[in-house]
Structure 1
């Protein structure tokens, strides 16, 4: 069975532990990238990452998007919502179904 992790700054992720998710606070791009690699190698099927930290780790997240597992999903942090998380889900759905389900097909 796959596990679920949450990666980001401590203030943004500590509440997820109450939901039974494994939380991994990180403070730098390097630390986040190393943690993502470790989690992917240890049967984590879903990794939530704060939008701010994801912005610093785009290359490694793109690598995971080419794989079936883990699913890396951006979430807002305490600093607010940048819209990157919603845009990422929208792109994934568009790729899977072949059109933009929210605003119609432009292809």
Structure 2
């Protein structure tokens, strides 16, 4: 059975534990990179990462872009939404279907 993890700043992720997800609070880029690597190597299928932490560990996240698992999904944190998460999903959909499905020709 696959597991789901949430990685980021404590204040942004602690609520996910009430949903039954495993949370991994980190406070800096070094901790974030190390923890992401551990989670990926431990068989987590989905890893949610706060947008602010993802900004700090871009190189580590890039290592997993071409792999089936884990799926790394960016989520907003308490510091707000940077649109990085939605832009990443939009780009993935564009690659999968060959066009921007959100484009309005009006």
**TM-score normalised according to structure 1 size:** 0.94
Equivalent runs, 1:49-88 vs 2, <5 Å: 49-88=49-88
- Tell me the residue number matched to 1:34: 34
RMSD: 1.2
Q: Calculate the TM-score normalised by the size of structure 2.
A: 0.95
Structure 1: tracts of 5 or more residues without a match: none
Aligned residue in 2 for 1:45 = 45
Superposed structure 1 runs of 4+ greater than 3 Å apart: none
Which residue does the alignment assign to 1:90?
90
Shift of 1:25: 0.1
State the alpha-carbon separation in 1 of the partners of residues 2 and 64 from structure 2: 16
Count of matched residue positions in the alignment of Structure 1 and Structure 2? 105
After TM superposition, give the deviation of residue 27 of structure 1 in Å. 0.5
Show structure 2 runs of 5+ residues with no match: none
- The residue number in structure 1 matching 2:18 is 18
Following the alignment from structure 2 to structure 1, what is the Cα–Cα distance between the partners of residues 93 and 60?
Answer: 20
